[in-house]
Amino acid sequence: MRFTGAAAALACAFPAFAATVSVDVIGADGKPLAGAVVIVDTPRKSAGAMKPGGPYEMAQQNIAFVPHVLIVPVGATVSFPNRDKVRHHVYSFSKARKFDLKLYGKDETRSVVFDKPGVVALGCNIHDAMNGSIIVVETPYAVQSDAKGHATIADVPVGGATIRVWHPSIRAPDNMLSQSATVTATGYTTTYTIRGR
């Protein structure tokens, strides 16, 4: 009991070192925007950097990329399995990662390593309507907003941070907005309202 009391007193004597960041994303129509990528960058990247981990997959299924948006850490290997009966030719011209996966058929897979942070826009050279995005990040604090346009990121280090929000409808370079923030022991809450094109 004495040890427990001492531990509790010690915990109260020091501020919390991590807190929760909550972000609400509102679309151009005034409604909650699902599927926006919310990224929190902190100065402690080296201490909290994501390891490549995986597996990460961006499939071609029903003439579409599945999932439509994928968040991966720098250094991740992403597989591109073809689950359609038709062949696909997946490519990207994005600065963060240019690649060209020549035609391959059903149940075949190709892989790409994403070694730089940034937004990688995907396309298919055979099916123009196919598009998708891979968001490559240097931080473990990255999620997509839910059906209510809400994103919650826990265990963010207290202190200065940059909060970025990505969505195809954002009128900005790389379809991304950013703002500086100070995360306190009680957390940080903000709202982004997206302007339409």
Which pLDDT does position 74 carry in this prediction? 96
Q: The sheet that has 142-144: what strands, in order across it?
A: 142-144, 37-41, 159-166, 176-183
Report the percent of the chain where pLDDT is more than 70. Answer: 87
Q: What is the mean pLDDT of residues 20-28?
A: 97
Domains, in order of start, for the chain: 18-193 (2.60.40.420)
**Per-residue pLDDT tens over the stretch 33-92:** 999 999 999 986 544 456 677 899 999 999 999 999 999 999 999 999 999 999 999 999
Report the percent of the chain where pLDDT is more than 90. Answer: 81
The DSSP code sequence of the chain is: -HHHHHHHHHHHHS--SEEEEEEEEE-TTSSB-TT-EEEEE-S-HHHHPPP----EE-EE-SSSEESSEEEEETTEEEEEEB-SSS-EEEEE--TT--EEEEEE-TT-EEEEEE-S-EEEEEEESS-TT-EEEEEEESSS-EEE--TTSEEEEEEEESEEEEEEEE-TT--SGGGEEEEEEEEBTTBEEEEEEPPP-
Which pLDDT does position 179 carry in this prediction? 95
Judged against a pLDDT cut of 70, whether residue 194 lies above it is answered with yes
71/51 Cα distance (integer angstroms)? 13
Q: What is the mean pLDDT of residues 24-33?
A: 96
Residue 156 is which amino acid?
A: V
37/54 Cα distance (integer angstroms)? 19
